[in-house]
Amino acid sequence: MQYISTRGQTRPHTFSEAVEAGLAPDGGLFLPEHMPDISGRLGDWASLSYARLAAEFLSLFAPEIAPDEWHALTARAYSKFDSPEVAPLRKITGKTYVLELWHGPTLAFKDFALQLLGLLYKRQVERSGKRLAVLGATSGDTGSAAIHGCIGQEGIHIFILYPHGRVAPLQERQMACTGADNVFAIPVPGTFDDAQSVVKECFGDAAFTAAHNLSAVNSINIARVLAQCVYYIWAWLRLRDLAGQGTDAAGGVEFVVPTGNFGNVLAGWMARQMGLPVRSFRVATNQNDILHRYFTSGDYRQGDVRPSHAPSMDIQAASNFERYLYFLLESDPAKVREVMARLKNADAVNLPAADPAFRSTSMKDDQIIRVIAQMWKDWRYVIDPHTACAFTGMATDCTSIVLSTAHPAKFPDVVKQATGMEPVHPTLEALKSLPLVTHRLPASAAEVKSFIARHS
Ligand SMILES: *Cc1c(COP(=O)(O)O)cnc(C)c1O
């Protein structure tokens, strides 16, 4: 299995090469050259543990890593989750289930991909003998999940920039209270975009990038998307255990996915392309509704980001959307290049009609509060503001699986406003008394590069 770029101007890469590169050299995103058909394997996979299922699935995409080694990697990656099922599927009503994706170390779904990515980085360091400096910018969840994937890994240093004073206090603590000497939490003045542009400038310096073996952690690594496919398969298998084989006859299943960067829902859609029998997906956005506008009216145009109660979805440029575009544009990289160039210039683009397997909804902040309150009142189930965005426009003619992307205790203020109670989690409580270690730097690539040079 080789990996091609959505923009078609990069030689085919192996899985390991594509993981190491992150972004393709031509500016595109990596995709597997073909989608394996998994439909005939689902029966065999039904009895596997989460880690074993992940190993079987990922082996199809990276045959250069032996199945036993894959199993060692996934067993380790998912050993830090606080549920034996890793991703428990919970029944709320006869037709509504919640897939809890927040049992990992940072209590958000990004742990599924980043625990594994940290181990893939480690494997790379062991094989090449070269130290790795991982660099990224975050507005919250990605940074902490990336850090927890790299904590204590020999030969890896991780540097995460974030806008000073603009990430939630608990998210900052998750990054800055690890006590690990290979982790550097770096607040910089300005917004997330300012932090992001410093990171981009660092990567623009090819000599520096090569000298320090700099690797980007962001939402577009192909390993992240593939790791996320696994929990869709897992959920589909568990639904059959809970609801029986009749689910398909009863209208099939719709996955409802709170999304901003389109990374999570893209993984589900790819699993469907591989033969997972999913009826449909609902893209659930907050008030930053570029994806909702696209799926309802065909209009894909970036606006300004308006901060919401679901901050990890405050995005107007859905970076993973390019992978879906590639399929939508008949796998023609020339068409992808043209559309991406027009988007960059903020020109109007005409996209073909969306795959009818997608629906979408969007939710404003006041409704997020009402939904959290209602879920608590009706079902005694507390959800976080991102998950809340899923609970509108629920399908009536099929079973729904809502992907719950974060533990409510990560967003205590909004949840307390809705339910009157402050949600807590022991992991987060423990952080409150630990010393905060940050490395404040100016928003300057020169300063950040010199810091990395001194500490990696
Ligand atoms: C990152 C994140 C999302 C959005 O993920 P996408 O990859 O954009 O779909 C949703 N909820 C939470 C809690 C997140 O951290």
Which string of DSSP letters, residue by residue, matches 3-56?
EEETTS-S--B-HHHHHHHSS-TTS--EEESS----GGGHHHHTT--HHHHHHH
pLDDT band at 396 (very low <50, low <70, confident <90, very high): very high
Is residue 319 within a helix (H) or strand (E), and if so which, with residue range? none
364 is an active site residue: no
| pTM listed for this prediction | 0.95
Q: What pLDDT was estimated at residue 248?
A: 67
Query: To the nearest whole number, what is the mean pLDDT of the chain?
Result: 93
Domain range summary for the chain, segments of one domain joined by + = 84-105+223-429
Q: What would the mean pLDDT of 214-226 be, rounded to a whole number? A: 89
pLDDT band at 432 (very low <50, low <70, confident <90, very high): very high
User: Between 289 and 276, whose confidence is greater?
Assistant: 276
What are the pLDDT digits (tens) for 89-102?
999 998 999 999 99
Q: What would the mean pLDDT of 105-116 be, rounded to a whole number? A: 97
Among 20-29, 268-277, 322-331, 440-449, name the one with the lowest average pLDDT.
20-29
Q: CB of 110 closer than 6 A to ligand 1?
A: yes
**Ligand 1 centroid vs 261 CA: distance in angstroms?**
7
**Ligand 1 centroid vs 373 CA: distance in angstroms?**
21
**Ligand 1 centroid vs 139 CA: distance in angstroms?**
11
Mutate to test the pocket of ligand 1, among 110, 226, 283 (most ligand atoms within 8 A of CB): 110
Q: CB of 108 closer than 6 A to ligand 1?
A: yes
Distance of CA 425 to the CA centre of its chain: 22
CATH 3.30.230.70 fits 84-105+223-429, yes or no: no
Highest mean pLDDT among 165-174, 238-247, 321-330: 321-330
Ligand 1: nearest atom to the Cα of 260:
8
User: Torsion-angle region of residue 400: left (phi > 0), alpha (psi -120 to 50) or beta?
Assistant: beta
Q: What pLDDT was estimated at residue 249?
A: 60
